[in-house]
Amino acid sequence: VQLQASGGGLVQAGGSLRLSCAASGRTISTYRMGWFRQAPGREREFVAAVSRAADYAYYTDSARGRFTISRDDAKNTVYLQMNSLKPEDTAVYFCAADPGGSGHSGRVRSYDYWGQGTLVTVSS
């Protein structure tokens, strides 16, 4: 499966962005999907994940209450709605797919497929 992330850009603190992750090659309806981010000089970190049936979602503490992950399996797409953005949210955001869905949702190694990343820059 190939993943294409989009929707990043430059936004002022307090603003919003909606990231999209379009999948191709096969359906992602049976995959757990996640978003991660990587700031310059830092390791890639978990942001959010949604289960294959969208019956639950996980968030890192910094994202909970501000970000919302969702999926539209008919469009083979996953979204990350980001509100109340802060300068510390600045990073390259990656979407990822986990076919098995049994590993820890917050671990990079749980995901087999990765998109190329989209840059989010939040100015103060």
Answer whether residue 51 shows pLDDT above 80: yes
Answer whether residue 21 shows pLDDT above 80: yes
Task: Give the separation between CA 32 and CA 13, rounded to whole angstroms.
Answer: 30
- Give residue 114's pLDDT: 97
Answer whether residue 25 shows pLDDT above 90: yes
Task: Show the 3-state SS of 18-44.
Answer: EEEEEEECCCCCCCEEEEEEECCCCCC
Give the amino acid at 91.
A
- Give residue 102's pLDDT: 77
pLDDT in tens, 62-104: 999 999 999 999 999 999 999 999 999 999 999 999 998 777 8
Answer whether residue 105 shows pLDDT above 90: no
β-bridge pairing 118-123 and 9-12: parallel
Task: Give the separation between CA 83 and CA 76, rounded to whole angstroms.
Answer: 23
- Give yes or no for a contact between 103 and 70, defined as CB atoms under 8 angstroms apart: no
- Give residue 104's pLDDT: 82
Pick the closest to residue 78 from 14, 122, 120, 35 (CA basis).
35
Mean confidence (pLDDT) of the chain: 96
pLDDT in tens, 31-40: 999 999 999 9
- Above pLDDT 90, what percent of the chain? 92
Pick the closest to residue 3 from 34, 48, 30 (CA basis).
34
Q: Please give the average per-residue pLDDT across 47-54, as a whole number.
A: 94
Backbone phi and psi for residue 108, each to the nearest 5 degrees, phi listed first: -55, -40
Task: Give the separation between CA 78 and CA 72, rounded to whole angstroms.
Answer: 6
